[in-house]
């Protein structure tokens, strides 16, 4: 049986009231929390990768995750996925098109 030792009164209150000092139940709940968080992060990452690959739009990702488009942009930053990815040829083409129209 694991032993819980902490100076955090909030954690101790939860441990005593919700888990009735049962460290096995407490640690199992912590493991389940991390498993759930890990699944959510995998889903987020897979959806953002699909956006990066051009398979989904920002709006589609937002709808699937039930979050706003600005929150999707925050997730892109969290996972270090660029909002717009342009290669050198694309930038040169756009630049040349702009110069021709001026």
Does a structural domain hold residue 67? yes
Number of domains in the chain: 1
Question: What range does the domain containing 26 cover?
Answer: 9-101
Does a structural domain hold residue 95? yes
Instruction: Give just the sign of the alpha carbon dihedral 48, 54, 58, 61.
Output: negative
Does a structural domain hold residue 1? no
Rounded-to-integer distance, Cα 17 and Cα 37, Å: 24
Does a structural domain hold residue 2? no
Does a structural domain hold residue 47? yes
Rounded-to-integer distance, Cα 91 and Cα 74, Å: 25
pTM for the full predicted model:
0.59
For residue 1, is pLDDT > 70? no
Q: What is the pLDDT of residues 59-77, one digit of tens each?
A: 999 999 999 999 999 999 9
């Amino acid at each position: 049986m694991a032993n819980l030792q902490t100076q955090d009164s909030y954690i101790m209150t939860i441990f005593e009231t919700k888990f009735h000092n049962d460290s096995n139940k407490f640690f199992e709940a912590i493991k389940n929390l991390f498993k759930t968080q890990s699944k959510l992060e995998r889903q987020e990452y897979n959806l953002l990768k699909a956006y990066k690959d051009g398979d989904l739009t920002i709006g589609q990702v937002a709808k699937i995750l039930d979050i706003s488009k600005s929150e999707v942009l925050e997730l892109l930053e969290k996972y270090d996925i660029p909002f717009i990815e342009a290669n050198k040829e694309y930038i040169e083409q756009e630049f040349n098109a702009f110069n021709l129209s001026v």
